[in-house]
Amino acid sequence: MGHSHAHQHPHQHTHAHRAAALAPDDAGSSERYHLHGVLLPGEEPRDLWICDGVIRTDPVRDATTLAHDGWLMPGLVDAHCHIGLGAKGAVDAETSEQQALQDRDAGTLLIRDAGSPADTRWIDDRDDLPNIIRAGRHIARPKRYIRNYADEVEPEDLIVTVEKQARAGDGWVKLVGDWIDRNTGDLEPLWPTDVARAAIEHAHALGAKVTAHCFGEQSVAELVRAGIDGIEHGTGLDDATIQLMADNHTALTPTMINLENFPDIADSAQERFPTYASHLRQLYARRVQILRNANEAGVPMYAGTDAGGTVPHGQIAAEIELLVGIGGAEFALGAASWRARQWLGRPSISEGAPADLIVYDQDPRMNPGGVAHPQLIVLNGHPVRC
């Protein structure tokens, strides 16, 4: 990820290490596979081999052919997901495992966990579960976010809390940028701009990147100007903020599946908070145009489902389909695969890379809906579905 901190956590296993440590040499030698197909985003058929959990581009003897024809794609990425999070906060290990399996069986083999109160480090030791890049726990102010989700602190403690969560994560920190303020009855930023800027700069000094949940207009404008690395949702973007994000290569993960909940949230808030309800409906009405503007301006955009909490896991294909409407099929697929992997500092399909890939029997660029029906999933060199 370009930051040294991402490799310093004592419990973190890099994906390459996990793949290399799957089995002793004598046990791993039997898992030799061959695949033939078009390697996306290219056009030409390729032959690939898998040996000891990694990709080989030269022939491997005694390999079992898993795919004769098809379209090969780097394992999908859910860039905004919450393993270990339920509607009421942290969930137990068994529930976390089921969440991870649902994502894996949908083809999601790499997750950027955008905040979780649960300790999911044990997943790093499971070669049958997706690889996770964590952001520690959400950081919010007391009574200004969902109960039991966040590390709740006042602004004077933001910097020390950013450091705490940077050390708990894998190179990312997640702020709650805005949420309803029951005193004003509308979305309001949580952090004074100078405090947010100092906290972001401190995270950068520690080698971590910072992203933030932002629904409204004010928080996203302030945090992008403060030098943040990513924005989640981004429904309040204006043209000036979009241009600054493009200039600074600030990432946007719109979580389009979750945005579909805005009308229901507005309806439930109408009686107590009519201003907030009206605001959400306006943001919802503009969402597609705003995201198209961001894409056309060159803002790097990635696929994230916001699974966890109240959003079901395993919906990456649905997120991709919604992103097709923003920038086309290849844009949407790249946002959930090769471009997302490059952004997160993880390899795609290349010599010596961990064998994390998906095979489809139709070209997903022609039929993005087919992403929901992979012919084969390979994780850490192991076929997990075929």
CA triple 326-328-334, angle to 5 deg: 100
Backbone angles phi, psi at 258, to 5 degrees: -70, -35
Predicted pLDDT at 386? 55
Write out the two tokens for 30: 């039997």
Write out the two tokens for 360: 């489809």
User: 111 and 88 in contact (C-beta within 8 Å)?
Assistant: no
Predicted pLDDT at 173? 98
CATH fold for domain 76-342: TIM Barrel (3.20.20)
Predicted pLDDT at 7? 36
Least confident of 1-10, 108-117, 333-342: 1-10
Q: What is the mean pLDDT of the chain?
A: 93
Residues paired with 35 in a beta bridge: 48, 67
Element (H, E) at 26: helix 25-28
Write out the two tokens for 131: 């690889």
Distance (Å, whole) CA 132 – CA 154: 29
Predicted pLDDT at 183? 96
Least confident of 153-157, 206-210, 356-360, 382-386: 382-386
User: 312 and 88 in contact (C-beta within 8 Å)?
Assistant: no
Length of the chain: 386
Distance (Å, whole) CA 268 – CA 222: 28
Q: What is the DSSP letter of 361?
A: S
Predicted pLDDT at 30? 66
Predicted pLDDT at 36? 98
Share of the chain above pLDDT 70, in %: 92
Residue-wise pLDDT tens digits, 51-108 = 999 999 999 999 999 999 999 999 999 999 999 999 999 999 999 999 999 999 999 9
DSSP string, 157-221: GHHHHHHHHHHHTTSEEEEE-EEEETTTTEEEESS-HHHHHHHHHHHHHTT-EEEEEE-SHHHHH
Model confidence at 345, in pLDDT bands (50, 70, 90)? Answer: very high
Predicted pLDDT at 205? 98
Predicted pLDDT at 216? 98
Predicted pLDDT at 375? 96
Model confidence at 28, in pLDDT bands (50, 70, 90)? Answer: very low
Judged against a pLDDT cut of 90, whether residue 15 lies above it is answered with no
Judged against a pLDDT cut of 80, whether residue 324 lies above it is answered with yes
- Could you state, in order of their start, the residue ranges of all structural domains in the chain? 4-73+348-385, 76-342
Element (H, E) at 20: helix 15-20
Average pLDDT over residues 355-371: 96
Predicted pLDDT at 52? 95
Pairing state between β 32-39 and 71-74:
parallel
| CATH no. for 4-73+348-385 | 2.30.40.10
In this structure, the dihedral spanned by the alpha carbons of residues 372, 319, 55 and 378, taken in order and rounded to 10 degrees, is -40
Least confident of 24-28, 117-121, 366-370, 372-376: 24-28
